[in-house]
Amino acid sequence: MRLATLSLFAGCGLLGAQAPPADIGSTMPSIAQALGVTCNYCHSAERGSGQPEPKKDIARQMMTMTRELNTRVQQITGNTSANVECVTCHHGVPIPRQIADILMQTLRTKGAAAAAAQYRDLRERFYAREAYDFSEDTLLSLAQRITTSRPDDAIALLNLNIEYNPKSARSYAAIGYAYTRKFDDETAIQYYEKSLEIEPNNVVRGQLESLKMYRKRKQD
Ligand code: HEC
Ligand code: HEC
């Protein structure tokens, strides 16, 4: 174990002339694992370069916070072996939040293309961990939250969903609905029909009927 840890350090290029103190040697790998990241996620600057390391600064304060939490939790429960660790919150991911919330924040600040890129990146890195929810529901519910205010962004995210879940009848239906918000009924009808093709008995049938009826009345 000890040897494995040391060779890990050597591999990272963080091992200086001296071996690191024993507690660093065991806490660092466990922190990295708790956050699902590699060493240079925090140790991002060249050694000795004096460049800022923002994640490391956050991590340092998280360590202090975690110690304080432990004291509080032990006081509150009366259990002196109660133990809060990074993994208690992080569960193998650097940002322990619902992925929909993470994407929503990116969407607000940087737009749909950045949110889509972030989804791809997180999916690639964390898919097998079951830490973030990559089922079709995530992008669907996110898109539904923004369809009224930002139909184009909703359509972009739903197309991304279809890329990963080609049989998502609900995504096609949601795109159809987004097109009605853009007053493009013709495209909406195409997506509703595609949704019904995949899942003939879904709720979209009613919407499709009334949309067609409405268009017919407009034409008459
Ligand atoms: C989540 C952020 C994070 C990750 C991941 C991380 N470290 Fe650290 N590391 C820190 C922080 C913060 C300190 C400073 C601790 C302190 O000031 O008490 C530190 C300190 C160290 C030190 C002591 C020298 C220094 O830079 O302060 C070594 C050596 C080290 N880490 C190696 C590693 C190795 C090897 C890994 C990967 C197995 C790793 N770290 C992963 C945040 C991290
Ligand atoms: C009580 C819960 C909790 C504990 C315990 C905790 N964290 Fe966090 N940490 C969070 C939350 C929540 C965030 C994300 C904040 C946000 O939404 O940006 C976070 C964010 C971070 C980030 C920034 C990640 C990024 O990419 O922006 C780092 C680094 C981090 N934590 C390190 C640690 C380390 C190291 C430990 C253990 C010493 C730890 N945390 C313990 C809740 C916790």
Residue 190 sits in the same domain as residue 127: yes
- Number of domains comprising the chain: 2
Per-residue confidence (pLDDT) for residue 188, from 0 to 100? 96
Structure tokens at 27: 């806490």
Per-residue confidence (pLDDT) for residue 108, from 0 to 100? 96
pTM flag (> 0.85): no
Higher local confidence (pLDDT), 55 or 48: 55
Which residue among 1, 9, 12, 24 has the greatest number of ligand 1 atoms within 8 angstroms of its CB, and so is best to mutate?
24
Per-residue confidence (pLDDT) for residue 22, from 0 to 100? 63
Question: Residue 115's domain is classified under what CATH number?
Answer: 1.25.40.10
Per-residue confidence (pLDDT) for residue 128, from 0 to 100? 77
Higher local confidence (pLDDT), 122 or 23: 122
3-state SS, residue 79: coil
Residue 127 sits in the same domain as residue 53: no
Give the mean pLDDT of 193-216.
90
Residue nearest to atom 38 of ligand 1 (CA): 29
Per-residue confidence (pLDDT) for residue 7, from 0 to 100? 46
Pick from 90, 121, 154: which residue ends a domain?
Answer: 90
Poorest-pLDDT segment among 27-36, 125-134, 142-151, 187-196: 125-134
Residue 76 sits in the same domain as residue 112: no
**Distance of alpha carbon 4 from alpha carbon 88, whole angstroms:** 25
Which residues are CB-neighbours of 180 under 8 A, at least 6 positions away?
188, 211
Kindly state if the Cβ of 8 falls inside 6 Å of ligand 1. Answer: yes
Structure tokens at 171: 């995504």
Residue 208 sits in the same domain as residue 148: yes
Kindly state if the Cβ of 12 falls inside 6 Å of ligand 2. Answer: no
Pick from 52, 72, 90: which residue ends a domain?
Answer: 90
Among residues of the chain, what percentage have pLDDT more than 70?
A: 90
Cβ–Cβ under 8 Å, residues 190 and 159? no
Pick from 90, 108, 137: which residue ends a domain?
Answer: 90
Per-residue confidence (pLDDT) for residue 20, from 0 to 100? 58
Kindly state if the Cβ of 86 falls inside 6 Å of ligand 1. Answer: no
Structural domain including 53 reads 2-90
